[in-house]
Structures are given as structure tokens and as C-alpha cells.
Structure 1
Amino acid sequence: MRAISGLWRWRHNPLRRTTDLVEAWVALAALLLVLVAAPLAGSLIGGLAQDTLQESAREQRVSRHLVTATVVRKVEGSRLDVDPEASSGRDMRTRVVADWTAPDGSVHRAAVMANLDTPRPGDRFTIWTDRQGRTVARPLDPATASTHAVLAGFGGALLAAGLIEGGRRLVVWRMVRRRYARWDQAWDKAGPDWGRAGTGS
């Protein structure tokens, strides 16, 4: 709005300099770019992120398998940890040594995190593995992928708006420096005659 009011204010002002008008036009152009280009950039980035993340989620659901593991023993000194990949962020996990059978039929034993508060030998729980039985993170949830895509879109829009505003500020800064340089030149020309009687007569 300042850009529009600036243009209107300088329209018929007798004190208007060319740089004042140019500065107002630059501000208006930046405002229009922020209103048009930033949402467009956010939409494009968000759409690309959505496609990529949903494809990744589909691939993970195909390549990762939920298998049942059996507790052999609790790892000494292990403590309860919050599962960082849980949707609620409050699922407690304990490190145990467990056995499981992979989707390809191979048998495995390793230390893993179990979603059991007080694990005892023989307790069963589920873990995510690849086809060969190596433990992997749970597959990306489609809703989580969409949330990340929306955040990426907002980030892209904010970045575009920031770049446009940064460009506007750079142009105005250069114009102001040029204006000051002209003033310095004008003062240098007028300076030697200052204070002399009869100057200009």
C-alpha cells in the first residue's frame, strides 16, 4: 500500500525528483511480484515436494515390512526413550536383544528398540525391516508426507518473498547512494564560494 500511496503522493508534487518516482515504481513492482510470484513459487515447490514425498512413501511401503520379533533379553543399562518417528512423539521404547524372521526366511538376532515398557524374555513386538531382515525406520506416512510438502510450499513462498524484498532494498540502496554522491558533487562545487562577500554578484 505504501508503494501505491507513494506513487499518488509524487504524481503532481513540485518537489518530486525522478529517483522518488522510480523508487515508488520499484516498490509497487516488488509488491505485485510478492503477491503473484511468491504464492506461485510456493505452489510449485509444494506440488513438487508432494509428488516426491508421496512417491517415496509408496516405495517405502513396498520395500519395508512389519515383522514380529521376540525378546531374548533386555540390554543392560538401557533406558526408556521416546520414539522420534512415532506420530504422537510419546511412544516409549526400550533397547532389547530380539530374534525375528525376515520376509525372505532368514533368521536374525540383534539389539533393537522395542515399544515395551518392561520387556521380558518371550514378549513379542513388531519392528520394521527390509526384505533381507535388516531393521529400518518405519515407512513415511502419507499424511506426514503431505505436511512436509505444505511446509516446503510455505518455505518456498517465504523465500521468494524475501528474495524480492531483498532485491527491492538493494535497488533502493543503490539509488540512495547515487543520490548522496550527486549531493556530494554539488556541495563540492558550491563549497569554495561559501562565506565570501559578493559571491555570485
Structure 2
Amino acid sequence: MRAVVGLRRWRHNPLRRRTDLVEAWVALGALVLLLLAVPAIGLISGTATDETLRRTIRAQHEDRHRTEARVVRLATGSARVMYDPETSAERETGRPVIAKWTAPDGSRHTEAVRSAPATVRAGDTFPVWTDHAGELTERPTDLTTARTHAVLAGIGVAALAAGLVEAARRLVVRKLNQRRYARLDLAWAQAGPDWGRTGAGS
């Protein structure tokens, strides 16, 4: 980005090459993109992700229902259905039980539930989420989690855009350097045989 600082100087410097001026303008353009376009892209991406996740959450709340499951007895074998606890600690310390619950359509269900709260006993209740038919499902995503994912998505897209801008700038500078070296090699090849010879016209 040092080329940006010297852009004004390069425009009037008799020693400047065309590639120097191009590099300075490319650096200035990359800086403008990094300061203006990249944050805008991140904001747009994060906002779009947030709106999408909010629609998903609304659909989940329409399709999923919170109900109370009553413990029939502790399960001795492995439980097939996974109860979705509120915290990861409950998931790790939970226990399998045989539980029953009533679906939103009024049907009754009894099934082995894995990772029910560790302290439950027969007759205790704990919350579960079900679909319309009463089948256990995961708890709907909360708005805080959705917002966190949206922010991370926006940051990720902005970082990716910034990386692409910088990669493009480096690629252009590399091509310019290759052109400079090619011209230098050509000039050296033309002047090299007579370099330093007295009266050779150099």
C-alpha cells in the first residue's frame, strides 16, 4: 500500500514507469474496496443470513411444540430417541428413561428417551419438543444463536472478500514485476556486450 502514498509523486516523476503508475492505482483501488466494499458485502451477507435464519426459526416454531414428558421408569437398555436438553451439561449427564407424552393432536406416545435430566425419577416430568404427530424433535433454534451465526457469516464473507481483493492486487503486482524484469533483461541484453567499454558509445 506504500504505492498509494507515492501516487501523486509518481505522476510527475521523470523516472516513473508506466507499471509504477498502474501499481499505484491498483493499490489505491484495493484500499478503497477494503474500506468501503468489503464491509458492505459483509453487512449485506450477515443481514441476508439473519433474515433466512429468522424465517427458519418461525417455521420451526410453527412445526414444533413444547410439551411435558412424564417418566414411566428408568430405561435399562439403550434409548433410540434423543431428547434435546437446554444445555450441553444436561446432555452429558442425562440418563435414558421410558417416558410418555401427549402430542398436539391428542395422541399418546411412550418411548425410550436418551439424555433426559440426570435427576429424574418415575413420575417426574421434563420438557420435550415434538412435531404435530407427537414425534420427538430438536428444540427450535433461538434468536441469539441465529444472530451469532449471522454475525459470523457476515464476518466470514467480509474476510473472504478482503482476501480476494488482496490476492487480486498481489497478482497484478506480480504480473507488473514480471513485465519490469522482462524489460530489464531486454535492456541489459542490448547494452550488456558494450557495458563499460571505452569508446563503445555507452
The two structures have a TM-score, normalised by structure 1, of 0.83
Q: Does 1:29 align with 2:17?
A: no
Alignment of 1:3-152 (within 5 A): 3-76=3-76, 86=86, 89-92=88-91, 93-152=94-153
Q: Which deviates more from structure 2 when the two are superposed, residues 111-120 or residues 176-185?
A: 111-120
Q: 1:171 — aligned with what?
A: 172
Q: 2:182 — aligned with what?
A: 181
Q: Which amino acid aligns with 1:185?
A: L
Equivalent position SS for 1:136: coil
The two structures have a TM-score, normalised by structure 2, of 0.83
- How many residue pairs get matched? 196
- Structure 2, unaligned runs of 5 or more: none
Q: Is the 8 A contact 1:6 1:24 kept in 2?
A: yes
Q: Which amino acid aligns with 2:117?
A: L
Equivalent position SS for 1:61: helix
Please state how far the C-alpha of 1:198 moved relative to its aligned partner: 5.2
Deviations along 1:78-124, one digit per CA (max 9) or x if unpaired, are 7xxxx9874x6444433323222211222222232444223322221
Q: Which amino acid aligns with 1:4?
A: V
Q: Which deviates more from structure 2 when the two are superposed, residues 14-23 or residues 3-12?
A: 3-12
Q: Is the 8 A contact 1:129 1:136 kept in 2?
A: yes
Q: Which amino acid aligns with 1:14?
A: P
Cα distance change, pair 96–192 in 1 and its aligned pair in 2 (3 A): farther
- The percentage of counterpart residues that share the same residue type is 55
Counterpart-to-counterpart distance in 2, 1:77 and 1:200 = 99
Counterpart-to-counterpart distance in 2, 1:166 and 1:136 = 45
Deviations along 1:148-183, one digit per CA (max 9) or x if unpaired, are 222222222222222111111111111111211222
Counterpart-to-counterpart distance in 1, 2:74 and 2:154 = 44
